[in-house]
Amino acid sequence: MHIIKLSAIDSTNSYLKELITKQTVENFTVVLAENQTNGRGQRGANWEAESGKNLTFSILTKDILLSFEEVFNLNVVVAVSLFQTFSNLKIPNLTTKWANDILADKKKICGILIENQFKSNSEIFSVIGIGINVNQENFINLPQASSLKIISGQEWNKDEVLLTFLNQFQNNINLYKNEGAKYFWEVYHENLFKKNMPMAFENAQNDKFMGIIKQVLPNGLLQIQLEDDSLQLFDIKEVKMLY
């Protein structure tokens, strides 16, 4: 596994995507930045990270996904790998939050942004962007954010956290290639935030409603049971959880 370390970059995902256009890049290449000035999250949100305190990195995977229908499987494998990493580090009260967050004590400690490129020869390249709040202690105007240090009360060695995850991820990728996605979906759903619990949501029209998360479908859509017991599907840009 090749690791490229940068002191500062606008976005590790953007850097890695540009690198792919210029040269052949080894599978599982990692781009790691001490300071990411324009990190991106889901729904077009910026990923705010204090310089030097956190992990912001991207991983290139090739030949993992074989079809468009499998795209969300990679999200699930990454989320489960992060969940297992934090569990091994004894971080308590972990949940996977649809679509791409890991929570501890109901607060976000990690986010994922995967961007897929479909090549003319049917290859699928995936650039997996990950941000882990490690040693940051102050999150201005981000009441739902936390970090490994806040949760555990201890300072963490970022390199050790990174290597723990990368080892877990590679092991899980091998398991996925050999046995498929079933195990990862089971772990993902077992630990899905607010599954089968009534909660408030807000749709794209800013209308608030009550519902119950039932499951995440293989295509990544969230299935919510509404108050009239009907089931409705939502994409990431169509609904927000209020908690």
Q: Do domains 3-190 and 198-242 have the same CATH topology?
A: no
Which residues, other chains included, contact 161 with Cβ-Cβ below 8 Å and sequence gap of 6+? Answer: 55, 85, 89, 132, 134, 148
Task: Break the chain into its structural domains and give their ranges.
Answer: 3-190, 198-242
Evaluate whether the domain defined by 3-190 bears CATH number 3.40.50.80: no
Q: Compute the half-sphere exposure of residue 188: CA atoms within 13 Å on the CB side of its CA.
A: 27
Query: What tokens does 232 get?
Result: 């409705």
Give the whole-angstrom CA distance, residue 139 versus residue 145. 7
What is the C-alpha separation between 167 and 200, in angstroms, rounded? 37
H helix or E strand, kind and range, residue 113: strand 107-118
Count Cα neighbours of 102 within 13 Å in the Cβ-side half-sphere.
30
Of 1.25.10, 3.40.630, 2.60.40, 2.30.30, the CATH number of 198-242 is 2.30.30
Going by the DSSP 8-state scheme, the letter that residue 138 receives in this structure is -
pLDDT in tens, the chain (243 residues): 899 999 999 999 999 999 999 999 999 999 999 988 775 555 455 556 688 999 999 999 998 998 888 999 999 999 999 999 999 999 999 999 999 999 999 999 999 999 999 887 788 999 999 999 999 999 988 899 999 999 999 999 999 999 999 999 999 999 999 999 999 999 999 999 999 999 999 999 999 999 999 999 999 999 999 999 999 999 999 999 999
Q: State pTM to two decimals.
A: 0.94
